[in-house]
Structure 1
Amino acid sequence: MMRSQILIVDDEKSFVRSMAFALNEAGFHTRSAHTGEDALTLLADEPADLVLLDLRLPGMHGMEVLAEVTRLYPGLPVIMISAHGDTRAAVQAVKAGATDYLTKPFALDELLHIIDTVTDRARMQEELDYHRQRSANASGLVGSSQAMQALWQTLQRVAASSTGRVLLLGESGTGKAVVARAIHEQSPRADGAFVEINCAALPEQLIEAELFGAEKGAYTGAHQKRSGLVSLAHGGTLFLDEIGELPLSLQAKFLHFLENGDYRPVGATASHTADVRVVAATNRSLEEEVRAGRFREDLYFRLNVIELTIPPLRERGEDLQELLDRFIEAQAREEGCRPVTIPPETLERLQAYKWPGNVRELRNLVERLTILHPGQRIRPDQLPHEFHPGPGSASDQATTTSLEQKLEQTERQMIRQALEQTGGHKSKAAEQLGMSRHAFKRRLQRLGLI
């Protein structure tokens, strides 16, 4: 693994030597400068991952060096070092763009802790930038149907508003995560982070730490302090998918956070504050969950400030061609092959389908066809069996049973199969299905299997 590059800027040569030795022993690579001018020259020659900058320097003052570094290298973390009487100036430096500050004399452990915190924050920001770039290249909201135009107009009004709570409703696969990101990107918070968490995908005992962070040693395996997603989303948007799977034990704490923005990391004694817009999504009726005692009524009303319902694909018939074109082009680029083509007779078959899996199912179909038949003209008989009318087909069943009943039947069958394969062991069955034990238990209750 490449070692972090740290530039030490201080006019006390003995201090620089001791810091360089200690940091090198700790696994970092260091360079040093004794003036601000030399520091800027070194940065121009070779970038650094972090700068330790003394406040009082000969020639250029530390604040002047800080101003140049933040101007020339935005995002480069700078930790100011001040003498005992310069604490107020160090605080001013943080306000001017420094990441943190230390007051001499300080312990090596204190320095290493701050460096770890700063580099961890920078690493998370790099990950956010990477995912943001990937999302910018992915398919966004597509469709000129009346349903999508109405959704888009409402979305823009909501995004531009000051509301901090939005609830997205819609069937599985309709694109709730895409709508959540669109709300973020159309909002004044667009320059902030968009942070997503799937409440059903994490073990119950880890969701709180994932959301609010945890102190070192707060639980088994917590070998270092970790920042929570709430902290990471400060100034931006926090998207909670499958909010109905949030454990009851955590719902009260999350309600408290929604009320005033305060939260407490696991194992911490002090509270923190974060300013985030919360967008929550579910494919189930939270009202029914409240009546069943699986979701707090006060949390439901606190989340449901603005409610948006994402239309299913079967109600967006005129959008099918546009979505197909977008997915076909993207998948061909991903596979490095010529795109498939959809002739009129195949398109007619696709338009007659009910799309229980919605946009996600369409995207998966395009991926399958591109991989199996690259560059080909797709005939109707090359479509999967569910697209062919006949007894037991999806088209025939749609006239005799509702989509909810059909999905529930499939879900019940998958759960029973997982329980049989694991000898009735619920934790192993949940792991096999890729969900937390808590989410698995809730599904058992909802489906009447316990």
Structure 2
Amino acid sequence: MSSSPLVLIIDDERNLVRSLELALKGAGIETRGAYDGASGLRLAGEIRPDAVLLDLRLPDASGLEVLETLRKSFPGCPVIMISAHGDTRAAVQCVKAGASDYLTKPFDLDELVHLIGTTIERGRLDDEIAYRRSIGASESVIVGEHPAIARLRELVARVAASNARTVLLLGASGTGKGVIARALHQASGRVDGPFVEVNCASLPEQLLEAELFGAEKGAYTGAGQRRAGLIALAHHGTLFLDEIGELAPALQAKLLAFLESHNYRPLGSTREASADVRVIAATNRDLSREVSDGRFRADLYYRLNVVPIEIAALKDRGADLFLLTAHFAERFAREEGCAPIRIGSAARALFAAHGWPGNVRELRNLIERLTILHPGVEIGAQHLPPEFARPVDAAAPVELPGRLAAAERDLVLEALARTRGRKGLAAQTLGISRHALKRRLKRLRLV
């Protein structure tokens, strides 16, 4: 968890509250205690906890009444009910009323700490899903009209609707593999489940193993508590493994075993667990060459490569460059609360000539920076970073055909951008027929 979570404990047994506070503090979880329903509800309004531990029987109210009030006032806050009585009927009532779990006293403190950590993490994943939906899942929108992107969009729809348990995304760094992974999740039957992602190059081997598969308390140095892995958290959802080519050999074997059986064993555990997860892996490496060179397991490669999806580089997507530019300009203008930037003709020519080695990520970062620094401004050559400057050599011969072709390309791209890729309108803007525009697009290699 990225920040210390805060748990509210509502129980009239003061010694139990103190014991729980000490146990949770040792696990890096902050706590506040209340000894009756009224003070618990008042405290909940003041501190906005990440989770609540609530006793079923309180001196001034029933736990069910307090639970119902908490669910109405703080619908996103998970509530774990605790009781000294193993009453199955009461447990069912609590779950129906919205409790996330029900525990009977006495309970194992380590198990409780693990349950709270997992509950809070699942709550945060649910919040992330709700946030994605509230903004129209803009991070999963596939923008572009180039034939390669049209084919990609169709393939994503087919794969998302399938029962494929593994998908492999291939493309250079910055081409949008994360966007495609989210699009696959959003369009699938798993959309109500969590979307969990991890960069396989971001952690050392042992920590990554614990991150993926979970770990028992004391499984490695620094493992002060039992923790759920990302595979467990992605149950009924999607696990996105970015930079899969960086995975260490031992982890490659363990991942393969999970993909084959859907079972896994947390670090330090003697018991197996299972999870229903779609795994989307992504890489900018040539995995077939990695297999030939002995750096990546052939059996894992074949298991992942059941449904490969290749993503084109930005430089090969023609007029999509300016469609994406407009998309990002509008998006960041909304986020900053300002008018969108406009790309002037000089900057547009430099955009068209730029190689975009960082692909869509480079373009997105540039548009965000320009929006922050020059809100609502028409962007000229002077606003662009140095790598966009094209030095002119006065002694160099003038290559008129090349210059004319570049100018024609810029005009066509600008017309397509202004009409959002609608070729009929773009042709009218240029004063030519639709068939003439198609011939130019083909000659200029924009399709």
- TM-score category by the smaller chain? 0.7 to 0.9
Is this contact kept in 2: 1:338–1:375, CA < 8 A?
A: yes
Matched, 1:117 2:110: no
The separation in 2 between residues aligned to 1:70 and 1:235, in whole angstroms, is: 27
State TM-score, norm by structure 2. Answer: 0.72
The separation in 1 between residues aligned to 2:242 and 2:268, in whole angstroms, is: 26
The residue aligned with 1:229 is 230
Is this contact kept in 2: 1:81–1:103, CA < 8 A?
A: yes
The residue aligned with 1:420 is none
The residue aligned with 2:274 is 273
Amino acid at match of 1:81: S
Is this contact kept in 1: 2:81–2:101, CA < 8 A?
A: yes
The separation in 2 between residues aligned to 1:235 and 1:66, in whole angstroms, is: 31
Is this contact kept in 2: 1:81–1:90, CA < 8 A?
A: no
The structure-2 alpha-carbon separation of the partners of 1:218 and 1:5, relative to structure 1 and needing over 3 Å to count, comes to same
The residue aligned with 2:83 is 81
Displacement after TM superposition at 1:203 (Å) = 1.5
For 1:357-436, list aligned pairs within 5 A. Answer: 357-389=358-390
- Residue-by-residue CA offset, 1:330-358 (whole Å, 9 max, x unaligned): 33455565543212342233123332221
The residue aligned with 2:289 is 288
The structure-2 alpha-carbon separation of the partners of 1:269 and 1:89, relative to structure 1 and needing over 3 Å to count, comes to farther
The structure-2 alpha-carbon separation of the partners of 1:151 and 1:101, relative to structure 1 and needing over 3 Å to count, comes to same
Is this contact kept in 1: 2:200–2:241, CA < 8 A?
A: yes
The residue aligned with 1:179 is 180
Matched-pair identity in %: 47
Amino acid at match of 2:264: Y
Match 1:4 to one of 2, 7, 11: 7
Amino acid at match of 1:19: L
The structure-2 alpha-carbon separation of the partners of 1:123 and 1:381, relative to structure 1 and needing over 3 Å to count, comes to same
The separation in 2 between residues aligned to 1:2 and 1:57, in whole angstroms, is: 25
The structure-2 alpha-carbon separation of the partners of 1:145 and 1:66, relative to structure 1 and needing over 3 Å to count, comes to farther
Is this contact kept in 2: 1:198–1:242, CA < 8 A?
A: yes
1:317 is paired with a residue whose SS is coil
The structure-2 alpha-carbon separation of the partners of 1:227 and 1:69, relative to structure 1 and needing over 3 Å to count, comes to farther
The separation in 1 between residues aligned to 2:22 and 2:213, in whole angstroms, is: 33
1:311 is paired with a residue whose SS is coil
The separation in 2 between residues aligned to 1:90 and 1:255, in whole angstroms, is: 42
Displacement after TM superposition at 1:132 (Å) = 4.3
Is this contact kept in 2: 1:82–1:101, CA < 8 A?
A: no
Is this contact kept in 2: 1:70–1:76, CA < 8 A?
A: no
1:206 is paired with a residue whose SS is helix
The residue aligned with 1:409 is none
The separation in 2 between residues aligned to 1:71 and 1:252, in whole angstroms, is: 44
For 1:229-248, list aligned pairs within 5 A. Answer: 229-248=230-249
The separation in 2 between residues aligned to 1:205 and 1:94, in whole angstroms, is: 39
Displacement after TM superposition at 1:99 (Å) = 4.0
Displacement after TM superposition at 1:288 (Å) = 0.7
Matched, 1:320 2:321: yes
The separation in 1 between residues aligned to 2:113 and 2:167, in whole angstroms, is: 35
The residue aligned with 1:160 is 161
Amino acid at match of 1:29: R
- Residue-by-residue CA offset, 1:161-185 (whole Å, 9 max, x unaligned): 1111111111111100000011111
Displacement after TM superposition at 1:364 (Å) = 2.3
Q: Which segment drifts farther, 320-329 or 243-252?
A: 320-329
Displacement after TM superposition at 1:208 (Å) = 0.5
The separation in 2 between residues aligned to 1:299 and 1:257, in whole angstroms, is: 11
Displacement after TM superposition at 1:191 (Å) = 1.4
The separation in 2 between residues aligned to 1:367 and 1:182, in whole angstroms, is: 22
Is this contact kept in 2: 1:166–1:280, CA < 8 A?
A: yes
The structure-2 alpha-carbon separation of the partners of 1:148 and 1:154, relative to structure 1 and needing over 3 Å to count, comes to same
Amino acid at match of 2:116: T
The residue aligned with 1:257 is 258
Q: Please list every run of 5 or more consecutive structure 2 residues that lacks an aligned counterpart in the other structure.
A: 26-30, 394-401, 403-447
- Residue-by-residue CA offset, 1:373-432 (whole Å, 9 max, x unaligned): 44432223543344344699xxxxxx9xxxxxxxxxxxxxxxxxxxxxxxxxxxxxxxxx
For 1:81-100, list aligned pairs within 5 A. Answer: 81-83=83-85, 86=87, 98-100=99-101
Is this contact kept in 1: 2:205–2:251, CA < 8 A?
A: no
1:4 is paired with a residue whose SS is strand
Q: Which segment drifts farther, 378-387 or 230-239?
A: 378-387
Superposition RMSD in Å: 3.6
Displacement after TM superposition at 1:7 (Å) = 2.3
Matched, 1:50 2:52: yes
The separation in 2 between residues aligned to 1:352 and 1:188, in whole angstroms, is: 42
Match 2:16 to one of 11, 16, 19: 19
The separation in 2 between residues aligned to 1:192 and 1:345, in whole angstroms, is: 46
The residue aligned with 2:441 is none
The separation in 2 between residues aligned to 1:230 and 1:170, in whole angstroms, is: 24
Amino acid at match of 2:83: I
2:378 is paired with a residue whose SS is coil
1:302 is paired with a residue whose SS is helix
Matched, 1:128 2:125: yes
The structure-2 alpha-carbon separation of the partners of 1:24 and 1:344, relative to structure 1 and needing over 3 Å to count, comes to closer
Q: Please list every run of 5 or more consecutive structure 1 residues that lacks an aligned counterpart in the other structure.
A: 34-38, 393-398, 400-450
Displacement after TM superposition at 1:115 (Å) = 3.8
- Residue-by-residue CA offset, 1:68-93 (whole Å, 9 max, x unaligned): 57974465222342546x5x657767
1:217 is paired with a residue whose SS is coil
1:151 is paired with a residue whose SS is helix
Displacement after TM superposition at 1:230 (Å) = 0.7
Displacement after TM superposition at 1:306 (Å) = 1.1
The structure-2 alpha-carbon separation of the partners of 1:119 and 1:359, relative to structure 1 and needing over 3 Å to count, comes to same
1:211 is paired with a residue whose SS is helix
Displacement after TM superposition at 1:149 (Å) = 1.8
The residue aligned with 1:30 is 33
Displacement after TM superposition at 1:365 (Å) = 2.3
State TM-score, norm by structure 1. Answer: 0.72
The residue aligned with 2:423 is none
Is this contact kept in 2: 1:90–1:101, CA < 8 A?
A: no
Matched, 1:303 2:300: no
Is this contact kept in 1: 2:236–2:276, CA < 8 A?
A: yes
